[in-house]
Amino acid sequence: MKAQSIYEYIVSFAVFLVMALFLFQLMLSLGPESIAIFEKNTACLQANQILEYSTESRNTEKINLNFGINKINYSKWESMSETDYIAFKNSNEIFFPFKLQYTIKELPLNKTDTDTEYPNGTAAKIIRMSGNQIKVYANGSAKATLKLIINTFNKSSSVNIIESGCNSGTLEAEDSASAETGKMSITMNLNKTDYDCLIFSVDSNEEYLYFETLEFSDLKGEKMFPVFLENTFRLNGNYGSQNIEKKKQCSKGKYVIIQSTENEKFIAYIEAKSWN
């Protein structure tokens, strides 16, 4: 009887040991995956918090971007962009890394812009001219690429290149520009002393243009350069940490209205990124 009890104890212990080893191995195999899922979910919550961030109800003296009502005051964006990132995080009690960036998607053609200055440094500029003509020029003090794909809302509208060189800027062999029905595609590859310029036109009955692509960055695609409308309003912008953990990041985005300092309203896509 005693031998049977010892035997049952050994068997029970062996079963327990096997189950414990099995559970331990299961935890090891699920651990990294579970951690990755947790980090991703946390990053997404943080990105969403930044996207919907509004300080209006907390402190009216702090910068209020009005994200909660889908509207951004550009002058307040400028105030934020001129504020040190760490200082902004601390003053607004944000305890995780983030990056915000926006791109204007719709350009109204109901205005003629003032074309008085060239961009300083590495920058591009878009000018709305009379007769539904659009001037695009870019200046490079660093190696960069400007990519624009511009669609008309009327898909049958004619699009024509008027000049492939203007304001002393010309397109070189490494640049490209093509016009087709309803679409204008432009690529300007800039070096440290380059200056590119062209003018294109769309049908006179077009009231808006839509940016399918508006990108201006360094060759690695990591640093964004400004694209201005006239001299005071940026068609693209970013703010926040430059040290993005790409493998751990989560992005959240939505369409908003940006009101310029000239009280023009533009549809933009804004994206918030965060990571652990």
20-45 pLDDT, tens digit per residue, is: 665 556 555 555 566 566 566 778 88
User: Can you give the pLDDT at residue 68?
Assistant: 56
3-state secondary structure 106-162: EEECCCCCCCCCCCCCCEEEEEEEHHHEEEEEEEECCCEEEEEEEEECCCCCCEEEE
- State how far the Cα of 212 lies from the Cα of 192, in Å rounded to an integer: 27
| Global pTM exceeds 0.85 | no
Residue (of 209, 205, 184, 187) closest to 196 by Cα position: 187
Domains of the chain by residue range: 71-274
User: Can you give the pLDDT at residue 56?
Assistant: 47
Question: What count of other Cβ atoms lies within 10 Å of the Cβ of residue 201?
Answer: 18
156-196 pLDDT, tens digit per residue, is: 999 999 998 887 788 888 899 999 999 999 999 988 778 89
67-108 pLDDT, tens digit per residue, is: 655 778 888 888 888 899 999 888 888 888 899 999 999 999
**Residue indicated by tokens 């074309």:** 115
Measured in degrees and rounded to the nearest 5, phi and psi for residue 237 equal -165, 155
Q: Tell me the average pLDDT across 215-221.
A: 89
